[in-house]
Amino acid sequence: MTRAQKLRWYSGQLIEEAKAAEKAGTPDAAISKYLQAADILLLLAKVEENYTAWKYYADTAEACQKRARMLIAAAPKEEAQP
């Protein structure tokens, strides 16, 4: 298994763990996992020469970032203390 294949597998694992964390009601853990997966996918896209593979990595990373942003926006805001 090459490094790229291992990274691809690991990013998939992170995404699955993020989905599981969402279902379990732990959005902070899900956000962390989504952002870690996005970082890995962007690294893979950076070194990819094939456009189709590059597009997949870039689009998947974008989807992870969007999901993390949604979870951050949905988190209850703490009231400012005077």
For residue 33, being part of any structural domain is answered with: no
Tally the domains of the chain.
1
For residue 55, being part of any structural domain is answered with: no
For residue 57, being part of any structural domain is answered with: no
Domain that holds residue 7: 1-27
Q: Which two tokens stand for residue 66?
A: 């969007």
Band of pLDDT at residue 28, cut at 50, 70 and 90: very high
Q: Write the CB contacts of 19 (distance below 8 Å, at least 6 apart in sequence).
A: 30
Amino acid at 23: K
For residue 9, being part of any structural domain is answered with: yes
pLDDT value at residue 15: 97
Its pTM stands at: 0.88
What average pLDDT does this structure show over 4-33? 96
For residue 54, being part of any structural domain is answered with: no
Could you tell me if 10 and 36 are in contact, meaning their C-beta atoms sit under 8 angstroms apart? no
Band of pLDDT at residue 78, cut at 50, 70 and 90: low
Band of pLDDT at residue 45, cut at 50, 70 and 90: very high
What average pLDDT does this structure show over 39-67? 96
